[in-house]
Amino acid sequence: CIRDSHLYMAFCQALTGAGGWPLTIMMTPEKKPFFAGTYFPKTQRGGHQGLMELAEQVGTLWNTSEDKLRESADKIVSAVQSGLTKTNKPATEAAPLASQVSLQSVKGSASEAINKWGEQILKKAYDNLVRSFDARYGGFGNAPKFPTPHTLTFLLRYAEDHPQDKALEMVLKTLDGMALGGIYDHIGFGFARYSTDEKWLIPHFEKMLYDNALLSLAYLESYQVAHRPEDARKAQEVFTYVLRDMTSPEGGFYSAEDADAEGVEGKFHVWTPAEVEAVLGKEKATKYNAVYDISDAGNFEGRNNPNLLLGALDKIVHDEGLTKDEVLSSLESARQSLFATREKRIHPYKDDKILTAWNGLMIAALSKGAQVLGDGLYLEAATKAADFVLTRLVREDGRLLARFREEDAAYPGYLDDYAFFIWGLLELYAASGRPQYLRNALHLQEELERLFTDEESGGYFLTGSDAEALLFRPKESYDGALPSGNSITALNLLRLARLTGEERWEKKAEQQLLSFRPVLEEHPSGYTAFLQALQFALHPSQELILAGSLEAAELAEMRQIFFSEFRPYSSVLYQEGSLPEVIPWINDYTLDPSHVTAYLCQNFTCQQPVQKISEFKCLLDKS
């Protein structure tokens, strides 16, 4: 144990040009340093030299070159004492050991092979999206328009690296267009499957669980980036819809609601001015109808789908001297009254199947909602759904199943079931810190490797090796309305590599990226979920380790502060006492039972740990 840690940090900065915690110093018996570094795992892991291997090399050098090491140590001490060594420029002349010890460090998780073509593919995808972007209404291409939220989350990441480009502008325009349009249910909340027109005005009225999961993720990430309250509000409204209408008593999420009611598409959702007036009275109805485009002419087969695209909201804002939020808030009681009346109508058919894959997406979304918005209700719902899948959709032999309905779990799970559910578990772990969810994610990834790996061509088959024999085993990679299981698996592997430090996950992720390089190069904008794995691989890791009780108020506050900003390449680990059973090296981080200690690390090199909220904020500001 070195008491004078700040003194020895000066030696580390002199030798390497940087510093960090934990601090590793090699010194003579007289305590004169001749080698310095930051984090080293006990043994080699994740591309990082192990302390045991390092010690062996240093021992050999000491036995063969003690005089040179002592001379080096004297020069380092002299340089630091005289102030000649610059902290941002390694003193290589005084550090001969550095050239003889094999230390591995990379910008991100990607090999040089991926670095060379990765950025080119990302740029090509962006350029393709710019060409197909609808600058007037948002979205991409012509009618019918599908939301494809993974394209928006790809662009949010692209915007982080290229703030001068139009990526963020395209995202915000699209999110606003959908939020204002009739593809969104302004009375009961939630998004329909797609828009039949370019304006987002008239949808195919079917609502899918997966769309609402992925769109809420996009709005939450946009909120982290731009901090617009309307984005957070839209995610909250989607969750209100899902928890109210799409959640089973046991906690699983239903699949969809039909477009038709009484055999007529949209009948449940549309209104005439007279129907609105019958509920609200003339004065309130006049204002509501003006704002939400309810007219005698109608905008859908003689009736009206409420929307904010074509109404008189801007005119009312101008005439009354109010903000848009103030006008809409003044109509909230009207919305509630219309919702109560609509509930008495004959509802569209609800598809009450509970699908593992789509539940994984909603678990991920609700967990992200808990992270970003700090709402315990979302964490509770995500936890209940995850526990439902783990108890009701896992066969006795451990095989994940695909579908649950009327007390019957059936069909061996597909790649998407494993990939999407693992994603949900990783987000749930980030939101809760409960190690069982990380443990389950790791176990399911092991099973995914066993059941779905294509040993010959790379990637993963859609069906398991234990499934019914087909003429051939399909393999999907295209990111359409849903991201592919191969895309999400690539990202899961990278996240598991960062969380565990296990090099094998990183190698599998790298192989996954290389296996799909030809299709990515040919049409990159069709693989925007897959490209997010590539973006993750190309960026350096950042890890936040929170050591302390999960029930501590300061831990919750630190977590909330951390997730208030967009950190798409960061990982959070919770050293609460039992995590070392899953990740043994986390024992390197001290657990103080009376305080929460935060370690902020990059490429496993940590800044000085902090315990005060003010210091934690300062630490993040500098990162």
Q: Domain 540-623 falls in which CATH fold?
A: Glutaredoxin (3.40.30)
For residues 591 and 608, give the distance between their C-alpha atoms in angstroms, rounded to a whole number: 15
Q: Which residues contact 438 (CB under 8 A, 6 or more apart)?
A: 425, 426, 429, 499, 579, 582, 583
Q: Are 2 and 25 in contact (CB under 8 A)?
A: yes
Nearest in space to 183 (alpha carbons), one of 172, 169, 198, 171: 198
For residues 483 and 526, give the distance between their C-alpha atoms in angstroms, rounded to a whole number: 10
- pLDDT tens across 260-318, in order? 999 999 999 999 999 999 999 999 999 999 999 999 999 999 999 999 999 899 999 99
For residues 352 and 605, give the distance between their C-alpha atoms in angstroms, rounded to a whole number: 48
End-to-end, the C-alpha distance of the chain in Å comes to 27
Q: Are 222 and 232 in contact (CB under 8 A)?
A: no
Q: What pLDDT is stored for residue 401 in this prediction? A: 98
Q: Domain 5-99 falls in which CATH fold?
A: Glutaredoxin (3.40.30)
Q: Are 536 and 569 in contact (CB under 8 A)?
A: yes
For residues 5 and 23, give the distance between their C-alpha atoms in angstroms, rounded to a whole number: 8
Q: What pLDDT is stored for residue 177 in this prediction? A: 98
- pLDDT tens across 145-180, in order? 999 999 999 999 999 999 999 999 999 999 999 999
Instruction: Tell me the two tokens of residue 45.
Output: 């892991």
Sign of the torsion formed by the C-alpha atoms of 559, 565, 567 and 568: positive
| 377-399 average pLDDT score | 98
Q: What pLDDT is stored for residue 7 in this prediction? A: 56
Q: What pLDDT is stored for residue 577 in this prediction? A: 94
Q: What pLDDT is stored for residue 44 in this prediction? A: 67
Q: What pLDDT is stored for residue 116 in this prediction? A: 80
Q: What pLDDT is stored for residue 231 in this prediction? A: 98
- Mean pLDDT check: name the lowest of 95-109, 240-254, 426-440: 95-109
Amino acid identity of 224?
Q
| 491-510 average pLDDT score | 95
Q: Say whether 540-623 and 5-99 share the same fold.
A: yes
Average pLDDT, the chain: 90
Is residue 604 over pLDDT 70? no
The b-or-e profile of 559-583 (16+ CB within 10 A means b, else e) is beebbbebbebbbbbbbbeebeebb
Q: What pLDDT is stored for residue 8 in this prediction? A: 66
Q: Are 305 and 342 in contact (CB under 8 A)?
A: no
* In the chain, % of residues over pLDDT 90: 78
For residues 574 and 129, give the distance between their C-alpha atoms in angstroms, rounded to a whole number: 38
Q: What pLDDT is stored for residue 31 in this prediction? A: 85
Q: What pLDDT is stored for residue 98 in this prediction? A: 39
State residue 298 phi and psi, 5-degree precision: 80, 160
List alpha helices for 249-323, DSSP H.
Answer: 273-280, 282-291, 313-320
Q: Are 532 and 150 in contact (CB under 8 A)?
A: yes
Q: What pLDDT is stored for residue 50 in this prediction? A: 79
Confidence of residue 37 (pLDDT cuts 50, 70, 90): confident
- Taken as a whole, the chain contains a residue count of 623
| 387-408 average pLDDT score | 97
- pLDDT tens across 545-565, in order? 999 999 999 999 999 999 999
Angstrom CA distances, 81 to 17, 37, 95, 252, stand at 16, 20, 16, 65
DSSP code at position 346 = P
Is residue 106 over pLDDT 90? no
Q: Which of residues 92 and 227 earns the better pLDDT score?
A: 227
Q: Which of residues 531 and 64 earns the better pLDDT score?
A: 531
Domain coordinates of the chain in residue numbers? 5-99, 540-623
Q: What pLDDT is stored for residue 74 in this prediction? A: 86
Q: What pLDDT is stored for residue 17 in this prediction? A: 58
Q: What pLDDT is stored for residue 470 in this prediction? A: 75
Place of tokens 């590539």: 534
